[in-house]
Structure 1
Amino acid sequence: MTLFAIASADSCVTQLQQYINAGQGYQCITYSGTAITPSGNQFALKGNLMYSRYFDGIRQQAPVKILQSDSYVCGSNLLNQPFDVAQPSPQPSEFVVYTNGTIQVGNKGATLYCSAATGNTFGFLMDGVVHTFVLIINPLPVGCPALHFGESCTVAPPSPKVSVSKKVASSWTTDNVEYVQYDVIVKNDGASTITQVTMTATDFNPTSSWNVILNGGEISLPAYASIAPNGGTFTWGYISTAAQISLFSIKSAQ
């Protein structure tokens, strides 16, 4: 059984109509396709298309991205990673799926092949290479989604490894009330210096405190605090009655 039967232009026009209608309603259409050359090099193509009345079809919103398996890099796991995004193929100057069942890639055109049995899957032949692709209608008001296909990105820095503990420094009794002085130790087990730490606490109502800033239900280190990496510590203290057992936790650190 063949995936595509050579269909009449009318056949693909009919199958394309739902995507053209969605595009005319200002919905973004995502193109996602593959191709393979006689030498075995695989291509992956992805891009967002919007309807253009001038072109009478759905046209690339930005240049369609093309990655190929022959562009590879040795990854950190010492395995070859194909489709290296740092070595993309040249992006087509033009990319349009026309309402008449044809497609333009760069300055070349081709007739689409389709079959009702393949749903939203289409195909075409260009320069001796068979392409297959699907079209995805993105709902309003989402617009054109991120492709996650070679765009620039940022990596969030690892969360600092910070812990908090306390110990009794001294205790005494005044007017039959026992008081305890605590040292609270904030420890940095991460690899970089930390200058800002915010903590929360339960049952915390000290009679006095130092080396710390109390702001409602949050506790912050002062501006002069700097905790060295790899086991550095910063100590602040407070006094409370012995009946008050406070528990501390780290909310944020950087």
Structure 2
Amino acid sequence: MNREERRFVAFVRLLVRKRRELESTGKYGTLAEQRINNDPRLTEAFTTLDDNTKRRMVRAASLALRDFMPFRKAADRAERKAEEIAKKAVELQRCLEQFFSSVPPQVVTQMFSINNLLRAAANPSSEGRWEGNREHVLDPITPEGAIGWSWAPSIDILVGELAERARAFRFDELPIEPAFNAVRQARNNPKTIYLRAFISYLDDLGIASHQACDVSLRKAVSTVATIAIDQDITLDDVNKALISRQEFLRRLSR
């Protein structure tokens, strides 16, 4: 993981932590929620909705106002890097196989076994914890443990597994906030990005998918979204976003 990818992971963790902290104090999105709640257009839009649904809808609308562009760029970059890792790992695996076929087996065991590599490798980020505890992992106290290490895969096999996983990597499958992946493939259109995020948060809060055919709900979504981003969001826009949401969920379930 390079510096940019580490910064992105830290950024996502910070967002999640801040969201939880602010939600616990009831302050998350307060200003945006106040602005939406104070708009007179909500009165008619919320006529048929219960108070709990109203609150959750306004909360989802405020959550969706965040800037998703840094995430979209980082996600694209991560997938490109995964492709690069897969190609280079395949090349490295071939080189290792050719090397191993050219030297005595004991050289491979002594220099390149997983056990010996782990024994020699340091982990600066563990601040000495790995070095202080690795003997407990690498020196099994049972015969079965010793036999297990003797049958462990060689480094070229692990590199091949790395290539397979990198090749199969899809950012959409990561367990991060649903709205992040919901907007991932959206066109660079603020209206489209906002609506996808809004409906994703509605779904996350339990009031979108199971009521997707409720006209009054869709009209309320249209009005709230219009107020939130100060652009005209039509019922047709909402319908298209709901369809995109269902297609996205079907892809994830495959």
- Give the TM-score taking structure 1 as reference length: 0.21
- Give the TM-score taking structure 2 as reference length: 0.21
Which has the larger strand fraction?
A: 1
Which has the larger helix fraction?
A: 2
Structure with the larger RCO, 1 or 2 (CA within 8 Å, 6+ apart):
2
